[in-house]
A and B are shown apart, each in its own frame.
Chain A
């Protein structure tokens, strides 16, 4: 057998033995492409005598036709086979069960805001809001915090312009200012919302949630303030009795000012709220400073009342045993699923706040 015949046989075997479309394609180029086997044989013709030329040329043409036929049938066979396999694979099994429906979850912060609103609604507070981007006047000046006062150091403020007039609110207190400026006393509101301070570590995040409370009327005094917060804390933690202490403190916008601690103890690595001999700071409050009332066009000779600010995230952590504040904002799928609430679990007065 000549080399030519050997080569033809080899190609035939290769084609016959494959089931792979890629392999077929590579054999095709080996035989029929510009520099393939057939063309290389035709190039040899020039060096042959007339007779030899004729016989060799016809055997090349015969071989070409033969290989082409095998190639075509093989190619159809393999592509049919591929298609069939594909169809077989993609067949829809209508008897399979449908994809499981999982209900979504409400973020603990949203749930706690609803719980708090529910409690305050019962004693006549309504919900107010204000923008996250505030001006320096509403966030500081109107709230009796003068320029260049060290009290400003307690707030690490994010600014949006170089002359430090537009900022992200550092507390929800500017909502007090907005509410009083746009309405007439009496005022009895709560204002939950996002607040911002440029602080980031284990226990601080650059964004967190606060709840502001404001009650202004003709004879609202510190007794009312104590009663209101006592009621709130008891309702929120869903206990009959709670150990609480009011400690004098300082905020520029209230006078007198107080911080409120609640008692707790640790039992089996779990925190028990309301009893024990340790104290945990949960909120700041006080009687609204007459200067703030004046700035908000409310006559301090006639009206007085209290305000308070509560860290919502902190309360959520305490009530639902969440350890890391930062995890609130990390959107971890597992965390959201674990700590989130069923959306149908709406806190209500008659059923109770939590299940």
Chain B
């Protein structure tokens, strides 16, 4: 999960610095994996103007350009693009910069005998689009910005990358991270601002969740937006999408991605005009196929959750949309989906098809079922603001009621498990800041778990919430008692230890080799044992469990011979496998 401090500021009012925040995140269980400055990658790319595109003296297809990058002197850059011409405004990458598309680091180099100081870039090289035909052709607006960084020079802006454990889907959205920080006294969680949306048009597309066995979809919320003008995203949105490591595509797509990473609420936008008649959410039939947004064709098994219209499959619910109904830059009318899918079924389907997506990653961990409407509202507001249009009423199809779990909590559990006394007011404050609703009932607390926390089941989970926010460093360490009531090693272990050391004392070097081996060598030593195959071996020469210690020892003995060690004595003491359920410890020595 990636985010930037300024994105966090959307949800969190805080005076803490970025480095304080990073430290805090680690101590509350949101492990910071990497902090990377955006500047280092992208701010090197500056707006430049070709003063003169000369013919390369030694190559017909290359040009030797005089390029103005806002410095006193122009630079010589060799360029092969057909559209390189006098006066073209484009983007220049200096030596030392790294091209986003291929990770290549530029150097000053000679191309057909002419020195080139850097490179002029195509859109695809900067991952702005797939356009690789020629170099970027900027419009006249940029004339005054020659020498300035194309992606902006917000110095020191960092992308913070978290490694979120699978139990915390809520923190796969920036708001969840902000909530945890607010609960740790690191500021205040801002209210989600809600502007009243005028829903003026009719939602006239029929939508139905079919009653199927193991139907993955239990909520399907949607709205129609008409007469939009899909466009390139504004700078702030583009920057956030880039910070995530994604490629800006169009306002509509960028907005759905933005809401997904902002609220952990995956959405999907369909081109309404491409939907035939009505939407049915149903289990797939075996052999049905569709072309997904990743440009690949998928043939489905039975009972995978599909969103379909009268013509067939539109997309795989919660995993990936289809190409047929995808939005384009000229899309006028939208159907916007915000749904809930069952984690286990999503996971099974994706695994079977070997398909990964940001939406699937979230649904399989658990998306807040109560966020369907909030997700639509958030996206609609942005679409209306950036693309215009009129929106319909929200249509929410729901086949299952989600009830918030309630837990009877004895606050004494906290000291019982952690060994630290934390007063019950502190406990209540932490839990309520994390979104739990608390009612006192006699000696106990009645705690209602927020719908975005599918990982909380019982009292110990609440104890963990409290103690991770308080901080593990607050737990007082208790020195272990030096008391032994049972022998450390049993009879067998003592003899293992003796055998191991006594063989070594006779001149043998102890080795540890894989418990698996090559079936071909193993078969020479297995005698009458069955070979035990590994279904998914790491390589074909390590495909069975060893029936004997000899195969590996002989293999490595020969390797050492080839290294030039003729006089050697090695041994191994370890498991050999006599069947799938039986094994024994063997000691085997080889001397050459």
Footprint of B on A, CB under 8 Å? 101-107, 109-110, 114, 117, 120-127, 129, 131-133, 147-151, 153-154, 158-162, 164, 166, 168, 188, 194, 196, 198, 200, 206-207, 219, 221-224, 226-228, 230-231, 245-250, 255-259, 287, 289-290, 304, 328-334, 336-337, 340, 343-344, 346
A247 adjacent to B29 (CB under 8 Å): yes
Instruction: State whether A221 and B512 are in contact (beta carbons under 8 Å apart), knowing that A227-B477, A256-B464 are contacts in the complex.
Output: no
Complex-state Cα separation, A221 to B536, whole angstroms: 40
Q: Which among B478, B503, B510 has the greatest number of chain A C-beta atoms within 10 A?
A: B510
Selected from A132, A256, A329, A331, the residue in CB contact (under 8 A) with B583 is A132
Q: Tell me if A224 and B29 are in contact (CB < 8 A).
A: no
Minimal Cβ-Cβ distance residue in A for B366: A150
The answer to whether A223 and B478 have CB atoms under 8 Å apart is yes
**Assembly CA distance A329 to B555 (angstroms):** 12
Interchain CB contact under 8 A, A160 and B510: no
A336 to B, closest residue via Cβ: B509
21 pairs, CB–CB < 8 Å, chain A vs chain B: A106-B504, A107-B510, A107-B512, A110-B510, A117-B488, A123-B483, A132-B515, A132-B577, A148-B344, A158-B538, A161-B535, A161-B580, A194-B574, A207-B515, A223-B418, A223-B477, A247-B26, A247-B29, A329-B512, A331-B513, A333-B565
Bound together, the chains give a CA A224 to CA B416 distance in angstroms of 12
CB-CB under 8 A from B514, the residues of chain A are 206-207, 329
Task: Give CA–CA (A121, B488) in the complex, Å.
Answer: 6
Tell me which residues across on chain A come within 8 A of B501, comparing CB atoms: 106, 343-344, 346
Contact A223 B560 (CB under 8 A): no
User: A104-B504, A104-B508, A198-B538 provided; 7 other pairs, C-beta below 8 A?
Assistant: A110-B512, A132-B583, A223-B475, A230-B477, A246-B475, A256-B418, A331-B570
Question: Which of A106, A133, A228, A247 is within 8 Å of B472, CB to CB?
Answer: A247
Encode B531-563 as 1/0 by CB contact (under 8 A) with A. Answer: 011111110001001000000000010011001
- CB-CB under 8 A for A101 and B507, given A132-B575, A153-B166, A256-B463: yes
B419 close to A222 (CB less than 8 A): yes
Main secondary structure of the interface of A (DSSP, over half): mixed
CA distance A124 to B26 in the complex (A): 33
Q: Which residues of A contact B513 (CB under 8 A)?
A: 329, 331
Residue in A114, A200, A230, A333 whose beta carbon sits within 8 Å of that of B538 in the complex: A200
| Residues A133 and B535 in contact, CB atoms below 8 Å apart | no
Complex Cα–Cα for A107 and B510 (A): 5
How far is B464's CA from A117's CA once the two chains are assembled, in angstroms?
30
The residues of B that contact A227 with a CB separation of less than 8 Å are 477-480
Contact A343 B505 (CB under 8 A): yes
Cβ-defined partner of B507 (8 Å) among A104, A331, A344: A104
Q: Which partner residue on chain B sits nearest A194 by CB separation?
A: B515
Q: Which of A162, A333, A336 has the most CB of B within 10 A?
A: A333
Task: Tell me which residues across on chain A come within 8 A of B542, comparing CB atoms.
Answer: 206
Which residues 499-536 in B have Cβ within 8 Å of A in the complex?
Answer: 500-516, 532-536
- B: residues with CB less than 8 A from A are 26-29, 31, 165-168, 343-344, 347-348, 364-365, 416-420, 458, 460-461, 463-464, 467-468, 472-473, 475-490, 493, 497, 500-516, 532-538, 542, 545, 556, 559-560, 563, 565, 568-571, 574-575, 577, 580-581, 583
Beta-carbon contact of B510 and A336 below 8 Å: yes
Contact at A256–B364, with CB atoms within 8 Å?
A: no
Inter-subunit contact B580/A133 (CB<8 Å): yes
Closest CB in chain A relative to B497 CB, distance in Å: 7
Contact partner, B420, options A131, A147, A223, A304, Cβ 8 Å: A223
Give the complex CA separation of A125 and B481 in angstroms.
Answer: 11
Please tell me which one of the listed residues A125, A148, A194 contacts residue B488 in the complex, with CB atoms under 8 A apart.
A125
CB distance from B315 to the nearest CB of A (A): 22
Contacts of A188 in B (CB 8 A): 486
Residues of chain A within 8 A (CB-CB) of B477 are: 223, 226-227, 230
Do A194 and B575 contact each other (CB < 8 Å), given the known contacts A133-B583, A226-B475?
yes
Contact in complex: B538, A162 (CB < 8 Å): no
- Assembled-state Cα–Cα distance A120/B486 (Å): 12
Contact in complex: B489, A127 (CB < 8 Å): yes
Shortest beta-carbon distance from B346 to chain A in Å: 9
Which residues on B sit within 8 Å (CB–CB) of A158? 534-538
**Are B460 and A256 touching (Cβ within 8 A)?**
yes
B491, chain A: closest CB distance, angstroms: 12
User: What residues of chain B lie closer than 8 Å to A151, measured between beta carbons?
Assistant: 166-167
Given A166-B580, A248-B29, also A337-B509 (CB < 8 A): yes
Point out the residue from B365, B484, B538 that lies within 8 Å of A121, measured CB to CB. B484
Contacts of B461 in A (CB 8 A): 255
CA distance A195 to B464 in the complex (A): 28
List, in ascending order, chain A residues with CB within 8 A of B490's CB: 126-127
A104 and B577 contact, CB distance less than 8 A: no
Contact A106 B545 (CB under 8 A): no
- Chain B, Cβ-Cβ closest to A186: B485
Q: How far is the CB of A132 from chain B (nearest CB, A)?
A: 6
Across the interface, name the chain B residue whose C-beta is closest to A337.
B509
Chain A contacts for B507, CB-based, 8 A: 101-104
Q: Is the CB of B460 within 8 A of A287?
A: yes
Cα A117 to Cα B559 in complex, Å, equals 33
- Closest A-B pairs by Cβ, 5 of them: A248-B29, A223-B419, A250-B165, A221-B419, A343-B504
Please tell me if the beta carbons of A222 and B475 are within 8 angstroms of each other in the complex: yes
User: Given A104-B507, A104-B510, A109-B512, is A331 in contact with B559 using a C-beta cutoff of 8 Å?
Assistant: yes
Closest CB in chain B relative to A209 CB, distance in Å:
8
